Amino acid sequence: MEWQNKTSSATDNGQARAPVDVRDDGPPARPRTLVAMHWLTALFLALAVTLILVRDEVDGRALRMWLLEGHRHFGLLVLLLFFMRAALRFRSGKWPTEGNTSPLIRFAAGSTHLALYALLLVQPLLGWALSNAQGKPVHFFGLTLPALVASDEDLADNLTDWHQGVAWVLLALITLHVAAALWHHFVLRDRTLRLMLPGRRRS
């Protein structure tokens, strides 16, 4: 009877069921929270850049101030997401790599990610300090944030140069990051890009 039950559980209408393949075909899917924060960071960066570029092209003090405030808020949201992402990455530990890449490529990818994280921290802080050096308080959804530096015209000039310089470096690294993701997807044909797409099913 026991043998008969085992046999019947493996059959359906006299036909054997195909075994379920439970093997993992790659690294596990990334946490959905991290994927969401990744794309929110990209969105907030794009909005911050758009607002400051539009501000340079428009007239009207009130409109320019509104665009600058929007730029600051999205920059501070990027800073907030940085700390949330860093905490989640620290908790989740090191992820297994996807695809068959050389140690040199993996080192370059890791270095690029570290540089991106560093600039996502530094750039909003530079903007915050720049506003303070110009004698302008920084507000975040109704809260007045403490000043990082005292009002100083010479320091404001230096911070302006650094803020703009870091923006160009950040743009270059983001371009490299996007190019690497497309290379994985279209050349290596692995799951690196798909693992970070929103709305994908977990592995």
* CATH code, 129: 1.20.950.20
Report the alpha-carbon distance of residue 138 to residue 148 in Å, rounded.
10
Helices (H) and strands (E) in the chain, counts: 5, 4
Tell me, yes or no, whether 201 lies in a domain.
no
The model's pLDDT over 3-50, given as tens digits with 9 standing for 90+, comes to: 444 444 444 444 444 333 333 455 556 788 999 999 999 999 999 999
Q: Are 155 and 133 in contact (CB under 8 A)?
A: yes
The answer to the question of residue 64 being in a domain is yes
7 within a domain of the structure (yes/no) = no
**To 10 degrees, what angle do helices 153-183 and 103-133 make?**
150
Residue 13 belongs to a domain: no
Does 89 map to a domain? yes
Residue 149 belongs to a domain: yes
Distance set, CA 156 to CA 13, 31, 145, 196 (Å): 79, 40, 18, 38
Q: How many domains does the chain have?
A: 1
pLDDT of residue 31: 82
Question: For position 192, what pLDDT does the model report?
Answer: 87
Query: Domain of 165?
Result: 30-93+100-196
Mind listing the pLDDT tens digit for each residue in 59-94?
999 999 999 999 999 999 999 999 999 998 888 766
- Reported as a pLDDT band with limits 50, 70 and 90, residue 95 is low
How many angstroms separate the CA atoms of 24 and 52, rounded?
Answer: 46
Task: Check: pTM over 0.85? Answer yes or no.
Answer: no
For 99-142, the pLDDT digits (tens) are 667 888 889 888 999 999 999 999 999 999 999 999 999 999 99
Residue 162 resides in a domain: yes
User: Given the structure tokens 């009002």, which residue do they identify?
Assistant: 151
Confidence of residue 97 (pLDDT cuts 50, 70, 90): low
- Among 6, 164, 192, 1, smallest CA distance to 101 is for 192
pLDDT at residue 96, as a whole number: 63
Question: By the 8 A CB rule, do 165 and 156 touch?
Answer: no
Rounded to the nearest 5 degrees, what angle is found at the Cα of 171, between the Cα atoms of 170 and 173?
A: 65
Of the pLDDT bands very low, low, confident and very high (cuts 50, 70, 90), residue 198 is: confident
The reply to whether 118 falls in a domain is: yes
pLDDT at 41: 97
| Whole-number pLDDT of residue 83 | 97
Q: For position 91, what pLDDT does the model report? A: 85
